[in-house]
Amino acid sequence: MSSMYPALKHLHMTLALISICGFMLRAFWSLRGSDMLQKRWVKISPHIVDTFLLLSAIGLVIVLQLSPHNQPWLLSKVFMLFLYIGFGVVALKHHFPVFLRAIAATCAILIFFLIANTAFSKLSPLQAAGFF
C-alpha cells in the first residue's frame, strides 16, 4: 500500500463530507425557493468540490489497485453514485414540484449514506443485507 493512501483517504472523506453538506444546503434553499441558488459561488463550488472528490476516488482506486469488476462493493458505489446524481438533479431543479424535490433530496441523502456505509464496510448493500 502506498504512503499516499492515508492522505488520499482523508482527502476523499473530507471532500465527501463537504459535498453532502453543500448538497443539503442547496436542497434546503431549493425547497425554500431561495435566491441563494442563483449566486455564482453556489453554482460553481459544488463542481469544484465534486471534481476533486472524483479525482481522489480515482487516486484511491489506482493506489489500492482496485477494479469495480473484482470488487462488488466498488461497483455498487459507482452505481449508487449515478442514482445520487440523478436524485440530486431532480432535488435542485426548480421546475419540478416541491414535493417531488423533497422526495428526491431525501433519496439522494439516503443514497449518500449508503455509499458511505458501503465504503466503510466494503460490502455492497445487497451483501450487507445477506442476499449474496
* Residue 129 pLDDT: 79
* Residue 1 pLDDT: 64
Q: pLDDT: is 12 or 130 the higher one?
A: 12
- State what percent of residues in the chain have pLDDT above 90: 85
Give me the half-sphere count of Cα atoms (radius 13 Å) on the Cβ side of residue 78.
12
Instruction: Give residue 25's pLDDT band: very low, low, confident or very high (50, 70, 90).
Output: very high
The structural domains of the chain, with segments of one domain joined by +, span 5-126
- 50-75 mean pLDDT: 93
* Residue 64 pLDDT: 93
pTM of the model: 0.90
Instruction: Give residue 130's pLDDT band: very low, low, confident or very high (50, 70, 90).
Output: confident
- 20-40 mean pLDDT: 97
The three cell numbers locating residue 48? 469544484
- 62-84 mean pLDDT: 92
Q: pLDDT: is 49 or 128 the higher one?
A: 49
